């Protein structure tokens, strides 16, 4: 098996998604098609030789060639996220390698299966790559995104998600606010629990393929609940992120 090489990418765009989240677009000297759900490793090297590595899911779909989008959440005291959030500008180099990962991916062969996506905070990032790719290939499988966030300021990609939901009758966007919902909010509030998941699952006529991504407590609770209500373990795929705003 060939070892994935480190490459020097260039930052070509920076988008402020929320007060604590930015998306960096990186131009790659050697672009390799990725699967939605895969990630890249990113490495920073200090002048004294000290290195720090982190993994970041790819937010962009494989149809965006030559570049990748990495969405970065600022973590207090995070040596890598702090630098990426405040110390990086357009034109700067960043060392990356990828794409990496083969388990938490959504493939075109799955495009006919009903799909449940559950995200907590920045766990939305790999799921967004899936949704973007799904839209690009014009898939019509019933799809639901259940997205847990603290406040309306913390909804990453909210405008794009609302647009996808308006344009696609087979895609349902469900957001639950755990701390402060908008003043006119009539949707879900509170952390994801069994009754909420049961109600979401009732939207499907057959058991969905499920992807769950976010902080460990959320991922474990959701995965266990889905298994308890009868979803086959092979249809539940999980990925845990570090600290996140949920």
What are the extents of the domains in the chain? 7-100, 108-241
- Which CATH class for the 108-241 domain? alpha beta
Length of the chain: 246
Cα distances from 123 to residues 57, 174, 189, in angstroms, run 9, 15, 18
Radius of gyration, alpha carbons of the chain? 18
In CATH, which of 2.40.30.10, 3.40.50.670, 2.40.50.100, 3.40.50.300 is domain 7-100?
2.40.30.10
φ, ψ dihedrals at 124, nearest 5°? -70, -20
Helices 216-228 and 194-201, packing angle to 10 deg? 60
Contacts of 201 (CB under 8 A, 6+ apart): 116, 208, 226, 229
| DSSP sequence for 214-230 | EEHHHHHHHHHHHHHTT
pLDDT tens readout for residues 87-129: 899 999 999 999 999 999 999 999 999 999 999 999 999 999 9
Give the Cα separation of 227 and 235 in Å (integer). 9
pLDDT tens readout for residues 38-91: 999 999 988 888 899 999 999 999 999 999 999 999 887 788 888 888 889 999
């Amino acid at each position: 098996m060939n070892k994935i090489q480190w490459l020097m990418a260039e930052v070509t765009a920076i988008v402020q998604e929320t007060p604590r989240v930015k998306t960096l677009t990186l131009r790659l000297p050697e672009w390799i098609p990725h699967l939605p759900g895969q990630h890249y490793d990113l490495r920073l090297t200090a002048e004294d030789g000290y290195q720090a590595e982190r993994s970041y899911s790819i937010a962009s779909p494989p149809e965006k060639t030559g570049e990748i989008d990495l969405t970065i959440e600022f973590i207090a005291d995070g040596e890598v996220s702090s630098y990426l959030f405040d110390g990086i500008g357009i034109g700067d180099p960043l060392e990356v390698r990828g794409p990496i990962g083969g388990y938490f991916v959504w493939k075109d062969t799955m495009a006919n299966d009903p799909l449940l996506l559950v995200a907590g905070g920045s766990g939305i990032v790999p799921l967004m790559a899936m949704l973007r790719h799904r839209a690009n290939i014009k898939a019509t499988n019933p799809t639901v995104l259940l997205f847990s966030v603290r406040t309306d300021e913390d909804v990453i990609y909210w405008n794009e998600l609302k647009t996808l939901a308006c344009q696609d009758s087979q895609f349902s966007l469900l957001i639950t606010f755990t701390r402060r919902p908008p003043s006119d909010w009539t949707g879900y509030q509170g952390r994801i629990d069994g009754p909420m998941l049961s109600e979401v699952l009732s939207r499907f006529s057959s058991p969905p393929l499920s992807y769950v991504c976010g902080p460990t407590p959320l991922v474990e609770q959701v995965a266990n609940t889905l298994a308890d209500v009868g979803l086959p373990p092979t249809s539940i795929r999980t990925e845990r992120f570090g600290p996140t705003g949920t």
